[in-house]
């Protein structure tokens, strides 16, 4: 038996890592990944699945994941099976995990519930974060921190903790099926045959602190006409009515609002030239696709925490003269004490300036 040793690129192992158990990686035959359940987190972390498969080419890998990302994970080429997670069935899932006799599990979701499932499921080696009181349920525990660090580095550390050195952390992937790609191709043929470029946008956010001002959206959309760019609001199917109502309020009812499944939207993004939105799952989907330029608004977290700031094909915008941005008030319940002045400072002219530079080729 060999002691688990972290790879040399693990960040601060003496402060963040506790290894409680010995195991031989060559004895691993079945791996369980619990999560990732948030769309933005998954799209940022697609390299994790690729690098895990690279490290374990012949191991049977199962992903247990929530409904929001389940459809995307079914197209993942690096897992053998995908199980749908229902928290109401936690004990039944733990029994299923136990019956499958997994040797190793990764817990990127970092919740007590998923750690307990792995523990009750008798998974021999359990690698995860100890932040939610899970440390007694883990055999290899990491402490999750460093908010200004590129977030996928944390999930790469799950691999580094067992001696794997993953590569190409910024090389995201968009997993779609032939059916999804055919759907997107037909959508383009049937709806958009003019010579205008396409700009997809989503004005909504589950966190009101991150939402851009409605007046700014209106100004931006009106200005796009002079660039021969057609804007299309891309939202979840349940948000279509809300999106149409919003555009009518702005006096822009002629702009299309479309709601498609996550995987169909992911395939459709390959036909867009620009994507504009806040730091969200929608933006991170676009960053996984090679085609569009992505322009994203930041205020709660610094761009370098989730955005490939090194890639000049994309642009992250944050208020330049607001001392409290980023504020790190990333929880939904956190209240901004300054009237979200950071978003007020992000004027439409900054977005148009970026589009103008892309159109001239100055940013490429």
Number of residues that make up the chain: 364
Domain 180-360 has CATH 3.40.50.2000: yes
Res. 225 pLDDT band, cuts 50 70 90: confident
The residue that leads in pLDDT, 88 or 144, is 88
Rounded to whole angstroms, the Cα distance separating 272 from 148 reads 30
Q: What percent of the chain has pLDDT over 70?
A: 98
CATH number of 13-160: 3.40.50.2000
pLDDT one-digit tens code per residue, 97-126: 999 999 999 999 888 999 999 999 999 999
Is residue 191 predicted with pLDDT exceeding 60?
A: yes
What values do phi and psi take at 359, rounded to 5?
Answer: -65, -35
Three-state SS sequence of the chain: CCCCCCCCCCCCHHHHEEECCCCCHHHCCEEEEECCCCHHHHHHCHHHHHHHHHHCCCCEEEEEECHHHHHHHCCCCCCCEEEECCHHHHHHHHHHHHHHCCCEEEECCCCHHHHHHHHHCCCCEEEEECCCCCHHHCCEEECCCCCCCCCHHHHHHHHHCCCCCCCCCCCCCCCCCHHHHHHHHHHHHHHCCCCCEEEEEECCCCCHHHCCCHHHHHHHHHHHHHHCEEEEEEECHHHHHHHHHHHHHCCCCCCEEEECCHHHHHHHHHHCCEEEEECCHHHHHHHCCCCCEEEEEECCCCHHHCCCCCCCCCEEEECCCCCCCCCCCCCCCCCCCCCCHHHHCCCHHHHHHHHHHHHHCCCC
Mean pLDDT of 222-231: 92
Res. 190 pLDDT band, cuts 50 70 90: confident
Q: Where is average pLDDT lowest: 31-35, 116-120, 194-198? A: 194-198
Mean pLDDT of 316-328: 91
**292 with 285: CB under 8 angstroms?**
no
Res. 332 pLDDT band, cuts 50 70 90: confident
Rounded to whole angstroms, the Cα distance separating 180 from 136 reads 43
Is residue 286 predicted with pLDDT exceeding 60?
A: yes
**281 with 40: CB under 8 angstroms?**
yes
pLDDT at 165: 95
Domain boundaries, the chain: 13-160, 180-360
pLDDT at 113: 93
pLDDT at 357: 93
Rounded to whole angstroms, the Cα distance separating 199 from 356 reads 13
Domain 13-160 and domain 180-360, same fold? Reply is: yes
pLDDT at 1: 43
pLDDT at 110: 83
The CA-CA-CA angle for residues 344, 349, 353, to 5°, reads 135
Q: Where is average pLDDT lowest: 16-25, 296-305, 355-364? A: 355-364
Nearest C-alpha neighbor of 150 from the set 269, 309, 9: 309
Mean pLDDT of 284-292: 94
Give the mean pLDDT of the chain: 92
The residue that leads in pLDDT, 128 or 290, is 128
Could you tell me the CA-to-CA distances from 187 to 71, 181, 233, 236, 267 in Å, in that order? Answer: 20, 10, 15, 16, 10
pLDDT at 31: 98
Res. 193 pLDDT band, cuts 50 70 90: low
Mean pLDDT of 315-341: 89
Rounded to whole angstroms, the Cα distance separating 187 from 271 reads 10
Nearest C-alpha neighbor of 346 from the set 323, 324, 322, 329: 322
Q: Where is average pLDDT lowest: 44-48, 122-126, 222-226? A: 222-226
Is residue 2 predicted with pLDDT exceeding 80?
A: no
Q: What is the edge-to-edge ordering of all strands in the sheet holding 315-318?
A: 256-259, 229-235, 197-202, 274-278, 293-298, 315-318
pLDDT at 5: 83
The residue that leads in pLDDT, 251 or 192, is 251
**2 with 163: CB under 8 angstroms?**
no
Mean pLDDT of 257-268: 97
Is residue 6 predicted with pLDDT exceeding 90?
A: no
């Amino acid at each position: 038996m060999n002691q688990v040793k972290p790879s040399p690129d693990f960040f601060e192992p003496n402060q963040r890592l506790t290894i409680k158990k010995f195991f031989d990686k060559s004895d691993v035959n079945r791996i369980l990944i619990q999560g990732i359940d948030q769309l933005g987190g998954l799209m940022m972390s697609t390299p994790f699945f690729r690098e895990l498969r690279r490290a374990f080419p012949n191991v049977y890998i199962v992903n247990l994941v929530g409904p929001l990302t389940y459809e995307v994970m079914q197209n993942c080429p690096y897992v053998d099976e995908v199980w749908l997670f229902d928290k109401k069935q936690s004990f039944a899932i733990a029994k299923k995990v136990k019956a499958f006799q997994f040797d190793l599990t990764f817990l990127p979701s970092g919740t007590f519930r998923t750690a307990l499932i792995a523990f009750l499921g008798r998974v021999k080696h359990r690698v995860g974060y100890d932040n939610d009181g899970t440390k007694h349920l883990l055999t290899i525990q990491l402490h999750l921190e460093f908010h200004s660090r590129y977030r996928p580095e944390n999930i790469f550390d799950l691999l580094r903790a067992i001696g794997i050195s993953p590569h190409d952390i910024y090389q995201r992937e968009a997993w779609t099926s032939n059916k999804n790609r055919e759907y997107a191709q037909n959508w383009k043929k049937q709806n958009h045959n003019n010579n205008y470029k396409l700009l997809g946008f989503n004005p909504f956010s589950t966190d009101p602190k991150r939402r851009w001002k409605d007046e700014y959206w209106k100004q931006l959309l009106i200005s796009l006409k002079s660039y021969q760019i057609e804007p299309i609001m891309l939202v979840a199917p349940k948000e279509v009515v809300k999106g149409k109502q919003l555009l009518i309020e702005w006096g822009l009812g002629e702009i299309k609002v479309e709601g498609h499944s996550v995987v169909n939207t992911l395939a459709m993004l390959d036909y867009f030239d620009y994507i504009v939105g806040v730091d969200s799952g929608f933006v991170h989907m676009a960053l996984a696709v090679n085609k569009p330029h992505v322009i994203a608004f930041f205020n709660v977290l610094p761009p370098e925490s989730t955005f490939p700031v090194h890639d000049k094909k994309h642009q992250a915008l944050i208020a330049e003269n607001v001392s409290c941005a980023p504020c790190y008030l990333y929880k939904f319940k956190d209240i901004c004490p300054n009237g979200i002045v950071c978003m007020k400072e992000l004027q439409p002219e900054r977005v148009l300036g970026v589009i103008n530079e892309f159109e001239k080729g100055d940013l490429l």
